[in-house]
Structure 1
């Protein structure tokens, strides 16, 4: 029986890279599109939503493909719910958690501020989209994104 040929191994300290970078980029573009064009600001967002869009654009400016054009709708949804949360929170801040009732049945008594319900629902959607987009530490760990400056990678670990 002929001896089995082993694939050549890389010299110590070097890694064998996967497919050519151009092929990898083409494959990634196929999956989710090219990097998100942050300069194309969504017309559906109000001022607060656009401020959050711009904040995300600044945070992720160094990582051109962290978000892809295929995720545009998800990022817009996140920014929309951020805006809704902020508007509801401002109402609760200004008028308080309870307000004077406006319906015939509630006239003359206080009821829960409806903005608290809007705030709760918006926060649930924010949590969902933040997880989906990997915007929280837990979500980044779950999808395998390391933090900048994270030295837990095997490349930096002399004992790995």
Structure 2
């Protein structure tokens, strides 16, 4: 059997190319637009259990998309996780104490008032939604930045279905 033809001394089969590694200019360009991919293994110290759980969920969800989030966005992702944590804490307080609580100020002693956790929950949800949009984690934001979800596959277009 004849030997395969190669295109150079490295015995690379004809028709195959080895792409050059990223140039220094390309690496610099990546760093310029936010750095390399976010290192999910460097978990932020300031997050509590709820925040870390969300961080880990995001790390798992985006594990196959190395540069979906970049190091330059680390603080934004941390803010997103912090606001989720604040929302969860306020929600737990509402579940434990209910929507109304006994007043603590001199004027409110002896009467029931709206649970302050509901205000904290509303504020946290607004911030959480803001950071979700900023990070492209909502459907609307993904469409806006060109990361539109792929629709359900249509079996009518598949001749093998």
The secondary structure found in structure 2 opposite 1:111 is: strand
The aligned length equals 133
Residue 40 of structure 2 corresponds to: 38
Matches within 5 A, 1:21-100: 22=22, 24=26, 26-100=28-102
Matches within 5 A, 1:106-117: 106-117=108-119
TM-score (norm 1): 0.77
Task: List gaps (5 residues or longer) in structure 2.
Answer: 1-19
TM-score (norm 2): 0.77
The secondary structure found in structure 1 opposite 2:87 is: helix
Q: Of residues 128, 134, 137 in structure 2, which corresponds to 1:135?
A: 137
**Preserved CA contact (<8 Å) 2:76 2:131:** yes
Q: CA deviation at 1:26?
A: 4.2
Higher-Rg member (1/2):
2
In 2 relative to 1, CA 151–97 (structure 1 residues): closer, same or farther, beyond 3 Å? closer
CA distance in 2, matches of 1:33, 1:66: 11
**Cα-to-partner distance string for 1:92-140 (whole Å, 9 max, x where unaligned):** 1111111111111111111010000100000010011000000111110
Q: CA deviation at 1:150?
A: 3.9
The secondary structure found in structure 1 opposite 2:107 is: coil
Task: List gaps (5 residues or longer) in structure 1.
Answer: 1-19
In 2 relative to 1, CA 29–151 (structure 1 residues): closer, same or farther, beyond 3 Å? farther
Runs of 4+ in 1 over 6 A off after TM superposition: none
**Preserved CA contact (<8 Å) 2:139 2:148:** no
Root-mean-square deviation (Å): 2.0
